[in-house]
Structure 1
Amino acid sequence: MTAFQPKTYQSQVLESVEAYFQACHELPSPSIAYTATTERLWGRGLAYNPLSGFPTDMPYFCLRVPTGGGKTWLAAKSVALVNTHLLRGEHSVILWLVPSKPIREQTLRALRNRQHPYHTALREAGPITVMDLDEAKSVTRATLDTSTTVIVATRQAFQVEDEECRKVYQSSGALMRHFDNLAPAQRDELLKDGQGAEQTTPYSLANVLRLRRPFVVVDEAHNSRTELAFDMLARFRPSGVMELTATPDLERTPSNVLHSVSAAELKAEEMIKLPVVLETEPNWQQCLADAIGRRDALHKLADEERRAGAAYLRPIVLIQAEPRRAGVETLDFERVRIELITNHHIPAGEIIVATGEEKGLEKIEADYKLGIADPACPVKFVITQKALAEGWDCPFAYILVSMASLHSATSVEQLLGRVLRQPGASHRVNQPLNQSYAFVVSRNFAETASALRDRLVAGAGFERREVTEFVIAARAEQARFDLNNGHVVFQPVPVSLSEKPDFKALPKVIKDKLHWEPKLNTLTISAPLTEEETETLQATVKSEAAVAAIAEAAEVSRTTAIEFFQTPAELGERFRIPQLALRVQGQDGLEQLQLFDDPEVLDYPWDLSPFDAVPTADDLAAMGAGLKVSEGGEIDVDDASGKVVSRFLPELQRDLGLVYQPENWDAVRLATWLCRNLPEPSLTYASKQAFVAAWLAELLRREDFTLARANLQKFLIRNLIEARIRDMRKLAVGKAFQQTLFGDDAASRVAVSDIYAFDFQPQAYAPSRDYVPGTSEFGYFDFRKHFYGRIGDFDSKEEFECACWLDTQAQKGRLQFWVRNLVRREGSSFFLQKADGRFYPDFLCQLPRKDDMPGPILAVEYKGADRWLSAEDDRLIGGLWANLSEGRCRFVMVKDKRWDWIEEHLA
């Protein structure tokens, strides 16, 4: 299996987790750390919601990742971060909870498979043992002492009535060794059986977990707090809880969402197929025929690409049939299968049925090495009634056909999740192969589109504002009825009638589109009427004049009353921003360009000097505080108020120090371990070894610091040395950056080129917060010239006013369009690389075309007067980018509402 390459958003999720863990130790409590971390990451600090039944300051957070985003890999990758940055220990116990037994078996197989990316991610935590709950009931002390142990269990296993849960509390001789030589503080924390003199301490798995303070990973967490008795988990004294879900609870028992990935980010990183192209058809046989035609067209494109060298792809149709009901004729799986074979001549071998009775998927998995994705597998149609087998995954699924009008929410959500995944997680040359398709038996397109969007929000984890543009009509005539897509304005159509229609004879869906004003004898149509709805309405009046008037007004409602508004992105406009590139020498000796997106690519010879290998005063203070924690000392009292700030982490570090006894290494072995656990690829091992040995020797020369103490605090020492090396490397990079980009011969080293240009892709704009006109704290403005339908929220009133000014100029024709640039959303953000981070200009504007050539790009950054001085680096890199572009790019930084500074660049 090829090495797994994480996507940019996945790396950013892990960076957020690491930042939170570090902040938990740097700030007074994990709750304060959560607010501070979200403020730094997203510009808005979020309130911390403690988990009911747990200590109020226990680290508890949620990662929100939509369907197809790789939640399980992120969870596996996070284990090393838990050990290193939260627990600061070599090993840990991870209690990994999943929603069902099929998912448990699938997760166990993947985590144990040494070739699987999940196992590879886990191995970053060092020696790993993966087991199920039954195996954990006889886990040895040696296993927990020498490896990070991952116990995979269902959430239901910890419900009070579950037999498996009761066994967790039963005494077992196999666990007796775990309770040898315990300190009094440890024994005091164990669960007891019986009362008074009869009280005993069971050798139970529950007590082993209480000793080891497990970190809890809750996969697919959106239902966990209703299905799972969380107070049972609290009895194991977890060191923290991390939830991963597409749809976190944000209202009843709100999750602490630390990092939220958007569907647009997944689309930008080629993880999912969007948009979903929807087509409704009332005749079920025609609907099925249309889906077959679409599948055949996709298959033809896939074959053409394969002949050109692309990977194998066989588009598959998932058909949701109606369940059988006694005495009622339904579109059940047998009727659909007969239709495919008889009227469409689909070979029986290309069709499988996956229901509670028929196990077609299981047979395919058994017969073919790669399952349904195997090139030898002929299957093109999968018929189901409710939901497919849990854990079944097939990116070849492209088309959802629903015979049930999207009424069965759960199964539709699951089937949608199947068709969204992009094969190979990479875009195809032909755009139709980068989209998903839904064919639904229905007469009402608008209602169906709305229901499909609801399913994407409720099941796939999409944001409500995203789904308006992620479900589009396959046919233009149906798009006219989709008033919820955000880009349609409908003007009500009044019609005078000599008689009142019989509203009692109308179905609700039609009545909702009508309003009768008796004093004026006027019927007002407030939404487009289909031809079928028009006929139904006409049948409720008697006079020919009324029938004719309704026909005329209904025709207007479907045509001239509808005004389509399309954004530049939807109209197919391209918005490409040239980027900074370095001139480098290629392997052939010729000069070539390389995107400048990481200062580490600069040539900066550096090495660590043992002269700098000295613990600082701050380092010594941190180790002193850490020692008090491990000894159970009080370091959590605020000097000003005298109040206890937080006890959770000090007590956790004390407990872990008691249970995980450090090995008695000598100085050489300890230095070797530190070198091995310092990830710094730009340094040679010998250089690291010399630096670490000198730093450690300097530390051990101190009277108050023994080798035993260094063993005890080796993870903290590792973090301190890593921070020191990182700071020194930043200094070296900063010097190289200044010389390369701002030296006398900078133009010979750096260029702004169309070879590397950031392309603002349709449906790849993913704000962490949206500007919502009706509710914005900054005010209302009808933005008409933004590149996308969505607009990222603003950071200040002045920034909002700058956007209003830009949009006004665009409406006057002085700009073509503009975009609110986003921060840390790499699939939808333009940036300029600095020595110590990235600069994301607030606004990017496309100026009008001249002489049939694209106009220049204008980058605008608004800075409050209080931040003007600190923005010198941003002004320098923005000015360099503009100067090297040969007139194609312009840059201006504005303060104090000096719109005239922007005006100078519009000419």
Structure 2
Amino acid sequence: MTGFAPKTYQQQVLDSIEAYFHACHALPSPAVAFTATTERLWGRGNPYHPLSGFPADMPYFCLRVPTGGGKTWLAARSIALVNTHLLRTEHSVILWLVPSKPIREQTLRALRDRLHPYHAALREAGPVTVLDLEEAKSVPRATLDTSTTVIVATRQAFQVEDEESRKVYQNSGALMHHFDNLSPTQRDALLHEGEGAERTAPCSLANVLRLRRPFIVVDEAHNSRTPLAFDTLARFRPSGVMELTATPDLERTPSNVLHSVCAAELKAEEMIKLPVVLETEPNWQQCLADAIAKREALHALADQERRVGSPYLRPLVLIQAEPRRAGIDTLDVERVRNELSANHGIPANEIVVATGEEKGLEQIDADYTLGIADPACPVKFVLTQRALAEGWDCPFAYILVSMASLTSATAVEQLLGRVLRQPGAVHRQALELNKSYAFVVSRNFSETAATLRERLVAGAGFERREVADFVAAAKTEQAWLDWAGHAGRVAVPPVTIALTEQPDLHDIPKPVRDKVRWDSLLQTLTITVPLTEDETALLQATVTGASAAAALAQAAETSRTTAIDFFQTPAERGERLRVPQLALRVQGKLQLFDDPEVLDYPWDLPTFDAVPTGDDLRALGAGMKVAEFGEIDIHDQNGTLIPSFLPGVQRDLGLVYRPEHWDEVRLATWLCRNLPEPSLTHASKQAFVAAWVTALLRTEGFTLARANLQKFLIRSLLEARIRALRQRAVSKAFQQTLFGDDAAVRVAVTDQYAYAFHAQAYAPTRDYDGQFGRFDFRKHYYGRIGNFDSNEEFECACRLDILAQQGRIQFWVRNLVRREGCAFFLQKANGRFYPDFVCQLPGKGDQPGPILVVEYKGGYGWANAEDDRLIGGLWASLSEGRCRFVMVKDKQWERIEEQLR
């Protein structure tokens, strides 16, 4: 298996999870930690919503990842973070819940397959065992003691009401050894049956789970948000719950969304094909013919690219037919198949049917090693009715054809999810191969576009504020009707005509009647809302004269075409915004400077620094109280002492996962193995860790047994210490390389490495909502504008737009923070600098003008921004006049204007 490198947004998701887990231990409760973490990461602290029936301070969070974003890989990779940073245990039990049996089987296969990236992600947690529910009902105790055990099951499998599922709660002789030598505290925590002297705790899987405090992963969590589902999970005393979904519940039982990935990020990372190019056609046969022609064109492009080395690609068409109904003429599967064969000459082996009765896709998977993506497979058309088999996935799907006018929401959402995935998660050279296509049998384009956008929100997990840009009209004449796609950027003036006769408007439908206004005094008809062709025909029927009918037709066409004034952003007009980046010369070759670790800096871990600090000893002392007694809080009502959640979990896990009695050498070896630091030699790291542990054991009150018990906390303290020492070395090398006497030889600003703002890859965490005032921004590069941090930043943006309207700036963009795939940054020694604004200045002829970067700092921020000013100034000075940089404070707008001369 080749190595799997996470996408930037995936690593950010993992970083958010780790940050939250650290905060859970550092702050009073997971609830406080959630609000504090979201405040630090996204600029706005989100409120924490505890799950009903669970402890109020149980760690519970949700990852929102749209279709095609790799939710399962993220879940698998998160298990190592759960063990190391939340539970602080070497092994754990993970209860992995999925919505259906097909998804369960697919997940089990992938997690068990040693060649699959999902299994490799799981293995980051160390030894791992993957079980289905039947296997878990007889799992040996040794398996749980020596590996992280992942139990994959459907959510329905634990419902007590289901007779088969009751076995989870029933006594099992195969599990009796799990309950040997339990303490009274452990026995009290079990589920019991009977009353009085007859009260017993069955040796059931449910009680094994209660002992092991499982961490619960809920895949497709939007399907689980019912009181019954929550009650089921609460029975197992989980140590935490992580949800993954594209469409979290934000109202009825709100999910705690820790990290939200935007579709634009997936587009920027080449994970999905956008926009969805939509074409509507009332004649179903013509609609199908258009889709076939598009498939042939895409296939020709794919073949051209393959001849020059691109991977194999055979674009597929997914066709949603209508259900067959007795006595009614329908565009059902058989009729569409006949049309493909009889009128288009499509061979039978190029068509596969996937319905409840005909399982064509399952046969394809059985016949070909790579399924439908196998080069030997001839299939080009997949015919379905309601939905495809759950878990079926093929990025070769490019075209959705709907014979049912998008009326079946579930089927459309599912099929859209299939066509959005980018083959190989790599953009193709031909732009057409980086888009998805939808052909719909419909007369009303604007209504169909609105429905398609709604399906992207409801099913694929796109944010409503971004979908306008992700559905594009295939035909120019249909683009005129797509007012929702230009929301806030389109003017629809009324069209008035004089008529020789008064139209009879009483008999036409009210929706059409509401779009026109008759003035009997002036004998004029005003069309206030553009009319479709069908609505025009209805309006023409209200007059008798041919000249009046012709005038109405002309006015209606004008209303939906030339009368409409679309305002297009620079991005929509295809204007480019490319910003040269800092590059570093490594071994004679330039490379993008986006990681200070590439700097040539000699560093080692000095053993004289290998001593626990006072803060380290205090942290270990507090941790020991937790391990021995469990941390306690005072109950508000009656003063009763109660254990707080995470300390209680760690105490319970300490009782079931008893540490081995390691000597000092073995403990140091374990710590080294669990401190990944590729910039160090093993010998250097081992010497530092051994010296640190020796110093700890010489401290009064610290024994080898205690150090062994607290090895995860020690690992965290060592990791923080090594990180600080490495940062000190990196900062020194950074200063010498970029600002030393010969910096110009080693650092450059070149067009060879330039960040290009993609037309559809702008993904603000929050859009500007008018918080600091209203302004008609006319020169922003995108239709959306990321939120401003202060009123002064908003005023700075207004000033830039005014200068742009005066022609002194061509256009500008509100740069985003911590959105590497969507923003320009300059690398620093200890992080990245994301300037507030990037401006394209006017050029001469075909040559683009200079780039101006503007950063605004308030009074308190200015003093702490010296490193930002230094790196910004260096970037500008090395650009040979192509780039300019200014940092503004106290509304000194004249400093910006000085850069425009």
Q: CA deviation at 1:472?
A: 0.3
Alignment gaps of 5+ in structure 2: none
Which residue number corresponds to residue 241 of structure 1? 241
Which residue number corresponds to residue 560 of structure 1? 562
Once the two structures are superposed, the pairs formed by residues 709-788 of structure 1 within 5 Å of their partners are 709-772=706-769, 776-788=770-782
Q: CA deviation at 1:70?
A: 0.3
Which residue number corresponds to residue 352 of structure 1? 352
Which residue among 562, 574, 577 is the counterpart of 2:576?
574
Which residue among 521, 526, 529 is the counterpart of 2:531?
529
Question: Whole-Å Cα distance in 1 between the matches of residues 520 and 254 of structure 2?
Answer: 48
Confirm whether residue 610 of structure 1 aligns to residue 610 of structure 2.
Answer: no
Offset from partner CA, 1:401-438 (integer Å, 9 cap, x none): 00000010000000000000001110101000000000
Question: Whole-Å Cα distance in 2 between the matches of residues 3 and 88 of structure 1?
Answer: 27
Q: CA deviation at 1:521?
A: 6.8
CA RMSD after TM alignment: 1.8
Moved more, 490-499 or 715-724: 490-499
Question: Whole-Å Cα distance in 2 between the matches of residues 559 and 138 of structure 1?
Answer: 70
Q: CA deviation at 1:742?
A: 1.1
Q: CA deviation at 1:546?
A: 4.6
Identity between Structure 1 and Structure 2 (%): 78
Which residue number corresponds to residue 588 of structure 1? none
Which residue number corresponds to residue 149 of structure 1? 149
Question: Whole-Å Cα distance in 2 between the matches of residues 765 and 541 of structure 1?
Answer: 50
Once the two structures are superposed, the pairs formed by residues 511-530 of structure 1 within 5 Å of their partners are 511=513, 513-515=515-517, 523-530=525-532
Q: CA deviation at 1:527?
A: 2.6
Moved more, 547-556 or 343-352: 547-556
Q: CA deviation at 1:360?
A: 0.6
Question: Whole-Å Cα distance in 2 between the matches of residues 138 and 593 of structure 1?
Answer: 58
Question: Whole-Å Cα distance in 1 between the matches of residues 381 and 165 of structure 2?
Answer: 41
Are the equivalent residues in 2 in contact too, given 1:395–1:421 (CA < 8 A)? yes
Question: Whole-Å Cα distance in 2 between the matches of residues 785 and 839 of structure 1?
Answer: 24
Which residue number corresponds to residue 898 of structure 1? 892
Once the two structures are superposed, the pairs formed by residues 675-714 of structure 1 within 5 Å of their partners are 675-714=672-711
Give the SS at the match of 2:79.
helix
Q: CA deviation at 1:140?
A: 1.4
Confirm whether residue 802 of structure 1 aligns to residue 769 of structure 2.
Answer: no
Question: Whole-Å Cα distance in 1 between the matches of residues 223 and 170 of structure 2?
Answer: 28
CA gap of 1:882–1:542, structure 2 versus 1, over 3 A, is: same
Once the two structures are superposed, the pairs formed by residues 11-26 of structure 1 within 5 Å of their partners are 11-26=11-26
Offset from partner CA, 1:67-108 (integer Å, 9 cap, x none): 000000000000000000000000000000001000000000
Which residue number corresponds to residue 373 of structure 2? 373
Are the equivalent residues in 1 in contact too, given 2:413–2:459 (CA < 8 A)? yes
Offset from partner CA, 1:176-205 (integer Å, 9 cap, x none): 111111111111111110111211111111
Question: Whole-Å Cα distance in 2 between the matches of residues 524 and 257 of structure 1?
Answer: 49
Once the two structures are superposed, the pairs formed by residues 868-907 of structure 1 within 5 Å of their partners are 868-907=862-901
Question: Whole-Å Cα distance in 2 between the matches of residues 160 and 489 of structure 1?
Answer: 59
Question: Whole-Å Cα distance in 2 between the matches of residues 646 and 47 of structure 1?
Answer: 23
Moved more, 839-848 or 518-527: 518-527
Which residue number corresponds to residue 364 of structure 2? 364
Moved more, 503-512 or 561-570: 503-512
Which residue number corresponds to residue 124 of structure 2? 124
Question: Whole-Å Cα distance in 2 between the matches of residues 694 and 719 of structure 1?
Answer: 16
Which residue among 616, 625, 646 is the counterpart of 1:628?
625
Which residue among 647, 651, 659 is the counterpart of 1:650?
647
CA gap of 1:144–1:793, structure 2 versus 1, over 3 A, is: same
Question: Whole-Å Cα distance in 2 between the matches of residues 541 and 517 of structure 1?
Answer: 15
Offset from partner CA, 1:775-799 (integer Å, 9 cap, x none): x211111111111111111111110
Q: CA deviation at 1:630?
A: 1.1
Are the equivalent residues in 1 in contact too, given 2:632–2:641 (CA < 8 A)? no
CA gap of 1:519–1:163, structure 2 versus 1, over 3 A, is: farther
Which residue number corresponds to residue 816 of structure 1? 810
Are the equivalent residues in 2 in contact too, given 1:664–1:711 (CA < 8 A)? yes
Are the equivalent residues in 2 in contact too, given 1:628–1:635 (CA < 8 A)? no
Residue 78 of structure 1 aligns to which amino acid in structure 2? S
Which residue number corresponds to residue 540 of structure 1? 542
Moved more, 646-655 or 827-836: 646-655
TM-score, normalising length: structure 1: 0.97
Which residue among 572, 583, 601 is the counterpart of 2:598?
601
Once the two structures are superposed, the pairs formed by residues 169-188 of structure 1 within 5 Å of their partners are 169-188=169-188
Question: Whole-Å Cα distance in 2 between the matches of residues 488 and 258 of structure 1?
Answer: 35
Residue 189 of structure 1 aligns to which amino acid in structure 2? A
Which residue number corresponds to residue 231 of structure 1? 231
Which residue number corresponds to residue 252 of structure 2? 252
Q: CA deviation at 1:227?
A: 8.3
Give the SS at the match of 1:156.
helix
Q: CA deviation at 1:542?
A: 3.7
Offset from partner CA, 1:614-633 (integer Å, 9 cap, x none): 01111111111111111124
Moved more, 625-634 or 126-135: 625-634
Question: Whole-Å Cα distance in 1 between the matches of residues 36 and 815 of structure 2?
Answer: 23
Which residue number corresponds to residue 113 of structure 2? 113
Question: Whole-Å Cα distance in 2 between the matches of residues 446 and 268 of structure 1?
Answer: 27
Which residue number corresponds to residue 189 of structure 2? 189
Are the equivalent residues in 2 in contact too, given 1:65–1:245 (CA < 8 A)? yes
Aligned residues: 898
Question: Whole-Å Cα distance in 2 between the matches of residues 127 and 64 of structure 1?
Answer: 28
Q: CA deviation at 1:747?
A: 1.1
Residue 133 of structure 2 aligns to which amino acid in structure 1? L
Are the equivalent residues in 1 in contact too, given 2:248–2:255 (CA < 8 A)? yes
Q: CA deviation at 1:276?
A: 0.5
Residue 512 of structure 2 aligns to which amino acid in structure 1? I
Which residue among 847, 850, 853 is the counterpart of 1:856?
850
Are the equivalent residues in 2 in contact too, given 1:856–1:889 (CA < 8 A)? yes
Which residue among 823, 828, 845 is the counterpart of 1:829?
823
Alignment gaps of 5+ in structure 1: 586-590
CA gap of 1:164–1:624, structure 2 versus 1, over 3 A, is: farther
Question: Whole-Å Cα distance in 1 between the matches of residues 456 and 510 of structure 2?
Answer: 25
Once the two structures are superposed, the pairs formed by residues 65-464 of structure 1 within 5 Å of their partners are 65-226=65-226, 229-464=229-464
Which residue number corresponds to residue 53 of structure 1? 53
Are the equivalent residues in 2 in contact too, given 1:69–1:271 (CA < 8 A)? yes
Question: Whole-Å Cα distance in 1 between the matches of residues 256 and 524 of structure 2?
Answer: 52
Give the SS at the match of 1:104.
helix
Are the equivalent residues in 2 in contact too, given 1:678–1:718 (CA < 8 A)? yes
Question: Whole-Å Cα distance in 2 between the matches of residues 78 and 592 of structure 1?
Answer: 36
Question: Whole-Å Cα distance in 2 between the matches of residues 834 and 323 of structure 1?
Answer: 59
Are the equivalent residues in 2 in contact too, given 1:28–1:636 (CA < 8 A)? no
Which residue number corresponds to residue 791 of structure 1? 785
Give the SS at the match of 1:225.
coil
Question: Whole-Å Cα distance in 2 between the matches of residues 354 and 422 of structure 1?
Answer: 22
Which residue number corresponds to residue 484 of structure 1? 484
Which residue number corresponds to residue 584 of structure 1? 586
Q: CA deviation at 1:364?
A: 0.5
Question: Whole-Å Cα distance in 1 between the matches of residues 570 and 648 of structure 2?
Answer: 57
Question: Whole-Å Cα distance in 1 between the matches of residues 130 and 384 of structure 2?
Answer: 34
Are the equivalent residues in 2 in contact too, given 1:34–1:46 (CA < 8 A)? yes
Are the equivalent residues in 2 in contact too, given 1:401–1:439 (CA < 8 A)? yes
Give the SS at the match of 2:209.
helix
Give the SS at the match of 1:398.
strand
Residue 855 of structure 2 aligns to which amino acid in structure 1? E
Offset from partner CA, 1:281-311 (integer Å, 9 cap, x none): 0000000000000000000010111111110
